[in-house]
A and B are shown apart, each in its own frame.
Chain A
């Protein structure tokens, strides 16, 4: 069975990325150090941007891209805040 519709291909891609998100979530929970967890969640955030973009293309809803854009802009904030917190032991901003 070959999905002829290009939109279905986008949706299948989104489903694959969701499965990959679960793989990264395993690292976020199991990861022995804080750095492992932080990196896993950061990759998860990038993954989310890709999933949202694929869903926007697959479901023909271009305004999904707005949410993807906000995530792309804010994804680094958490990584920087936690990195600063672990290095300086308290300074966040």
Chain B
């Protein structure tokens, strides 16, 4: 990753910290928009433009409006302090978690574009998917075919989870329809 990438990574981490630390929720929502902007550039730099597009559409558009609708329905406490005070035990737990992840998990992961990574060290698997996808599923885009056909049950399960969340929301609100 280039110097631009590292600078952006630091930017995103600082933005996430600021979002978590702000006492005023409206300010937190605005800074969360800045976080989403940094994330979209990072995804693009890591050659995942589809994820970046989703982040752009969700982060810039939907999330802000959903969060605003939420705080419009609730009360916003007025405050004189800018930042939340730090919860030391929680900070300790999170710090320990980060240390374990950084020392145990990160060294095991492959670098971006590493030729030793399973994706590249088993080219016949990739090739088999690219060749058989259209015959198997009739879908021309291999990524779409993997998501919607080969991993169809997984995607179906995700849809069920979203459906269940919607039903639960309606139950909590004691309503029969959305809107």
Which A residues are within 8 Å of any B CB, using their own CB? 11, 14-15, 18-19, 21-22, 25, 28-29, 34, 37-38, 40-41, 44-45, 47-48, 51-52, 55, 61, 63-64, 66-67, 70-71, 74-75, 77-78, 81-82, 85-86, 90-93
Contact = CB atoms under 8 A, between A and B. Distances in A.
A40 B3 CA distance: 24
A37 B30 contact: yes
Contacts of A29: 18, 31
A67 B44 contact: yes
B7 to A, nearest CB: 5
B65 interface: yes
A28 B60 CA distance: 16
B34 interface: yes
Contacts of A81: 64-65, 68
Given A51-B41, A74-B61, A28 B34 contact: yes
18 contacts: A14-B4, A18-B11, A22-B7, A28-B18, A28-B34, A34-B26, A34-B30, A37-B31, A41-B34, A52-B41, A55-B44, A55-B45, A67-B40, A70-B53, A71-B56, A78-B30, A85-B26, A85-B68
